Chain A
Amino acid sequence: MSNIDLSHVSILVVEDSQFIRSLIVNSLRVLGVGSVQSVDDGSQAIEFIKQVKNDPMRAGMMHIDIIISDWEMSPVDGMILLRWIRRHKDSPDRFVPFLMLTGYSEPKRVHDARTMGVNEFMSKPFTINAMAEKLFSIINKPRQFVHTASYFGPDRRRQSIPIDGPDRRVLNYDSPEVEVVNG
């Protein structure tokens, strides 16, 4: 059995509630995450992400491996932050794994977050087991990214399950309109 060693991992936590933020940060530190930084909302996160790219020494973080963000924040919420990360030209890493945390987990919200390119979704109240499960998935089961005219984010089909009805994917990996980029 191999234990996941998080000591070289850097995580940015974006949460406006001081109490919840300290819960998340402490939990991650106890789980052994090597570097954890936290900010209050999406706009601070964007500034921090830029700072890590431009001046990592001052930011106190050399690289951001995972972002854990609350959804409901003001003035810039988790969805706007996710949109900026995935789509903005100034975003330094459009592929960074993004774990969305929210008190509201109705199917529509989950759908909206998936459409925006979220990797994982975790509802509050969170448990350590749930947190560990999401981190496990991000680390061990990353999905390929898909870029189309209307979507950029992790492949929303996690498994190859037989589809009941017509397959909306008209192209396959051999189609000339499809390019696979390995890196």
Chain B
Amino acid sequence: MAKVTVRYYRHKNKLREKTLGLAPLNDDEISFDEELMAKAMKELDDMAEDYPDWVSGLIDKLAAVHRRCVDTPEQRFKLFEQLHAIAHDMRGQGGTFGYPLISNFSDGLYDFTGVNTSTSDTNVEIIKSHIDAMRVVIKQRISGDGGEIGKQLKDGLEAAIRKYRK
């Protein structure tokens, strides 16, 4: 008797029974309720409109933690962890809601606050530059790549990083 090395599991599709009943149906006979779909799309669009307000709250949080980095240098290690977590929350979403510059800057901030990053005064200043750049993006509602202003913001941030790193 050969040893079984491959097993295939073919279970009864209970999920289909729950959602469509037992009647045999072809794929083209099945759909989602169009009215519900339209309602869900509207709900998603409405919520996406709140994104700048939501992200604005996170930028305020970043600024508050940054201030504590300045005031209490001995706590920077812990505070950098907080900045890192907030940046993580922000970085995957900017692009989703039409603000890729937010993703771009929070990506940078995420890197600058990782576990192996120095908590020097220089890096605290670089963090401030990231927060300032994000604030401009949201305040002026700079969506997409931001065209010329977007380029200036990116260049400005890079220049600040170079300056503080000298």
Contacts and interface: CB of A to CB of B under 8 A. Distances in A.
Interface in A1-25: 1-6, 8-9, 16-20, 22-23
Interface string B1-32: 11111111111110110111101010101111
Contacts of A120: none
B98 to A, nearest CB: 9
A1 B23 CA distance: 12
B12 to A, nearest CB: 7
A136 B39 contact: no
Contacts of B30: 1-4, 136, 140
B9 A144 contact: yes
B123 interface: no
A44 to B, nearest CB: 15
B135 interface: no
A28 to B, nearest CB: 8
Interface centre among A4, A124, A127, A138, by most B CB within 10 Å?
A4
A25 to B, nearest CB: 11
B150 interface: no
Nearest to B18: A8
Q: Interface of chain A, helix or strand or loop or mixed? A: loop
Q: Give the size range of B's interface with the partner.
A: 35 or more
B118 interface: no
Nearest to A171: B6
Nearest to B15: A139
A149 B4 CA distance: 10
Interface in A73-106: 74, 95, 97, 103
Contacts of B93: 17, 19-20, 103, 124
A166 interface: no
Contacts of A5: 19-20
A95 B9 contact: yes
A135 to B, nearest CB: 8
A1 B11 contact: no
Centre residue among B2, B18, B23, B89 by max chain A CB count within 10 A:
B18
A144 B8 contact: yes
Nearest to A74: B88
Contact of A179 (B4, B13, B36): B4
Contacts of B95: 103, 124-125
B77 interface: no
B43 interface: yes
A182 B4 CA distance: 16
A128 B37 contact: yes
B71 interface: no
B88 A9 contact: no
B70 interface: no
Contact of B11 (A16, A23, A95, A126): A95
Interface in B39-57: 39-41, 43-44, 47-48, 51, 54
B56 to A, nearest CB: 12
Given A65-B18, A103-B95, A17 B33 contact: no
Q: Which 6 A-B pairs have the closest CB atoms?
A: A176-B2, A125-B96, A103-B92, A145-B9, A30-B40, A147-B7
